[in-house]
Amino acid sequence: MANPLPAPDLLHAIPWDALLIHFSEIALKGGNRHRFVEALQNNIQRVLRDDPVKVSAYHDRLIVTTQQGSAAALIEKVSHIFGISAVSPVRLLPSTVDAMRTAALETYRAAPPGATFAVRAKRSNKRFPMTSSQIQFEVGGYVKEQTDATVCLGCPDVLIKFRVSDNCIYQEGPAVQGPAGLPLGVSGRVLTLFSGGIDSPVAAWMTMKRGCTTDYLHFHTYPSPEQVLHSKIYSLIRDVIAPQGRSARLILVPYHPFEEMLLGSTIPQEYELILFRRFMARTACALARKNRCAALVTGDNLGQVASQTLENLSAFDQACDLPVFRPLVMANKNDIIDLAKKISTFAASVEPYKDCCSLVARGPQTHPRLVTIQRIESTMPIAETVETAVQAATIHEVE
């Protein structure tokens, strides 16, 4: 059997001068649609702020125009932006069949000799004098006549696509999938509890993908917050937000107020971690309110470790007076790891780091009773400790 031909590198062989951006869910937004499209437009502009581009909105798509020949280089950046389902390079052609003939021939000639091809056309401009199938027949016939190439409609080596729209014709190149979801910023602000393990960066990414801007909260064991800024916590947050062209607020809280509260106490060891997590919950809610975040987000995953049983997750929630979102709660660990690799956080996540949870006694009670937890807490200065932690919190910008 003959070896298949290598796929032609159409992305780089053709001087694309624009990007065609498709969005999926935004199209369903009815009366709010304008707000969503505008947010996506601004987000694209922000990510491409160093490039000379213009982002224009049309009914079901956006067009990013740039200097001739330079559009392909922008695809990678754009393909990470939330709200985008697919992005393809395009070039803008005059509204003539001749322009399509010339473009199709040039495209076919960029492929290795012997490649099969097909022409596909879509026509939204009903005033154009030819139907889609007439265009396909005419342009395809021209390429065949000039090159003697074989047409393969089912699985061509080279697919040459045209969209005949109102003011011009687009030739469309190979599409790259985006993350889909909603544009960042349309769903409000939340506070992500960030530990720097595998799960919390993925949880933050999924939260942003649903349109939420997020601040980050990390409880640390360093003598000073500046040391956290040189740790993987800072760089991981940057890895999550940088593809969206944003900076983010990182709130750092020292672990020692909790440690000092435990000194000299005689609480059962198997309750220490639960108490610590409820201390995190209360401190997080107080800081969320102070910073106008409407909910907490965690990377909890049901049953992953002893502190994430149904009872322990519920004990955390009982200490909160804000909603707690857990994007990963029902996911399989392998799927979380795959996503962490896809968004490039996995490698840093598995680097060693001394998280405060590791200082608290291991082996937590897996089926704690809320009354028992509350009885233990009633013997301790919980509110004062939370207040001390809130006062000790420092805020930093992750650029």
The count of residues interacting with Mg ion (CB under 5 A) is: 1
At 122, list the tokens.
């879509």
CB-nearer residue toward ligand ATP: 138 or 355 = 355
CB-nearer residue toward ligand ATP: 141 or 323 = 323
CA–CA distance, 30 with 101 (Å, rounded to integer): 39
Provide, rounded to whole angstroms, the least separation between the CB of residue 207 and ligand ATP.
11
CB-nearer residue toward Mg ion: 356 or 393 = 356
Q: Which residue is nearest to ligand ATP (CB)?
A: 197
CA–CA distance, 66 with 130 (Å, rounded to integer): 29
Taking CB within 5 to 8 Å according to partner kind, which of ligand ATP, Mg ion, none is near residue 356? ligand ATP
Extract long-range pairs of 385-390: CB within 8 Å, 24+ residues apart.
385/257, 385/258, 385/260, 385/261, 385/279, 386/279, 386/282, 386/283, 386/286, 388/257, 389/253, 389/254, 389/257, 389/258, 389/279, 389/283, 390/253, 390/283, 390/286, 390/287, 390/290
Torsions phi, psi for 295 (to 5 deg): -160, 165
Our finding on whether 199 is near Mg ion (CB under 5 A) is: yes
CB-nearer residue toward ligand ATP: 157 or 199 = 199
Please choose, out of 87-95, 117-125, 194-202, 390-398, the segment that lies near Mg ion by the rule CB under 5 A. Answer: 194-202
Q: Which residues bind ligand ATP (CB under 6 A)?
A: 193-195, 197-200, 217-219, 298-300, 304-305, 307-308, 355-357
Backbone angle region of 165, left / alpha / beta, with phi > 0 → left and psi within -120 to 50 → alpha:
beta
SS3 of residue 87 by DSSP: strand
Provide, rounded to whole angstroms, the least separation between the CB of residue 256 and ligand ATP.
13
Q: Tokens 């010339």 sit at which residue?
A: 102
Provide, rounded to whole angstroms, the least separation between the CB of residue 2 and ligand ATP.
49
Q: What is the DSSP letter of 37?
A: H
CA–CA distance, 61 with 27 (Å, rounded to integer): 9
CB-nearer residue toward Mg ion: 47 or 284 = 284
At 373, list the tokens.
């937890």
CB 293 within 8 A of CB 189: yes
Provide, rounded to whole angstroms, the least separation between the CB of residue 188 and ligand ATP.
19
Torsion angle, alpha carbons of 273, 275, 279, 285, to 10: 100
Provide, rounded to whole angstroms, the least separation between the CB of residue 191 and ligand ATP.
10
Please choose, out of 196-204, 230-238, 333-341, 382-390, the segment that lies near Mg ion by the rule CB under 5 A. Answer: 196-204
**Angle, CA 264 vertex, CA 384 and CA 317 arms, to 5°:** 45
Taking CB within 5 to 8 Å according to partner kind, which of Mg ion, ligand ATP, none is near residue 57? none
CB-nearer residue toward ligand ATP: 73 or 359 = 359
Residues 6 or more apart whose Cβ sits within 8 Å of residue 140: 104, 117, 118, 119, 151
CB-nearer residue toward ligand ATP: 62 or 297 = 297
Please choose, out of 79-87, 191-199, 221-229, 340-348, the segment that lies near Mg ion by the rule CB under 5 A. Answer: 191-199
Please choose, out of 92-100, 192-200, 211-219, 229-237, the segment that lies near Mg ion by the rule CB under 5 A. Answer: 192-200
Provide, rounded to whole angstroms, the least separation between the CB of residue 110 and ligand ATP.
46
Provide, rounded to whole angstroms, the least separation between the CB of residue 357 and ligand ATP.
4
CB-nearer residue toward Mg ion: 297 or 376 = 297
Provide, rounded to whole angstroms, the least separation between the CB of residue 358 and ligand ATP.
8
The contact set with Mg ion (CB under 5 A) reads: 199
